[in-house]
Amino acid sequence: MLVPLTRQKFEQVVPLIATGLQYKYYWGKFSNFLQRLLISVVAIVVILLVTVIFKLEFASIVFVLGVIGAFFWLWYPVFQASMRNLQCRRYKYGGFFRGRVLDWWITDQLMGKTETVNNKGELVIVENREKQINLEVGDDTGFSIEFVAPLRPAHKVITRGQIAEMVVMSNRPDLSSIDEFSDIYFPNRDLWVSDYPYLRRDFFNEIGRRLREDQQQKPRRRRRRVED
């Protein structure tokens, strides 16, 4: 089932400003924080040196630049997430897709390589691999999507035939060609499967709940007509 979303609903469910989960995603590991902190320190030092050497008198501008540089470590994850959200919001049309898991499998993805030296002084290449879950989700019309995300312990409850929901994005009004899609939600398990959390999950869950209620009411209306 694919239901078109109004532009207002689409922009509600795909936020412009980073959500808490999106901020956490781009906050990264401690090493990422240290990198941003180092950039903040370097930025402050450069601004101070330029101010002293060139004897700049634009105090307000220097102050603003100093604040931006000092808090780079804090605001940069918001900027990264917001830019990624903006890429999704550039699509003209969005839809709510509900299908079922047609198949799933696990793969081992090479994320990178590092070189180190062992106790014997020999160069050793260490591969950084990540297990990923691959999902094929489709509906009765033959439409299907392949989705890949990092494997998590909670994913063990996923089975073939389970209902899966997501938001799809397109530049065609009839959604005949899907260019991008969001993370996947399993309503029966209250489980999200994602790499990057694209959606405002509260708005998405509300849309899904209303559609489920509409589907449940349709058979009742038909039965009433038959009885009448």
* pLDDT on residue 219: 57
What are the strands, taking DSSP E only, across 67-179?
A: 93-117, 123-138, 144-150, 163-170
For residue range 1-18, what is the model confidence (pLDDT) as tens digits? 899 999 999 999 999 999
pLDDT recorded at residue 93: 95
pLDDT (tens digit per residue) in 197-224: 999 999 999 998 888 787 777 655 544 4
Q: Can you read off the two tokens belonging to residue 47?
A: 């601004």
CA distance 38 to 175: 45
- Residue 26 token pair: 């781009």
Q: Say what percent of the chain tops pLDDT 90.
A: 66
Question: Token pair of 207, please?
Answer: 């849309």
Q: Give the span between the Cα atoms of 17 and 79, in whole angstroms.
A: 8
**Which residues partner with 4 through β-bridges?**
95
Stretch (H or E) spanning 103: strand 93-117
pLDDT of amino acid 199:
95
- Is the confidence at residue 227, as pLDDT, over 80? no
| Distance separating alpha carbons of residues 205 and 187, to the nearest angstrom | 9
The answer to whether 18 touches 82, Cβ cutoff 8 Å, is yes
How much is the pLDDT for 166? 95
**pLDDT at residue 48 above 80?**
yes
In the chain, pLDDT over 70 holds for what percent of residues?
A: 95
As a whole number of angstroms, the distance between CA 170 and CA 161 comes to 26
Token duo for residue 6: 């109004």
120-129, 152-161, 186-195: which range is least confident on average?
120-129
pLDDT at 128: 82
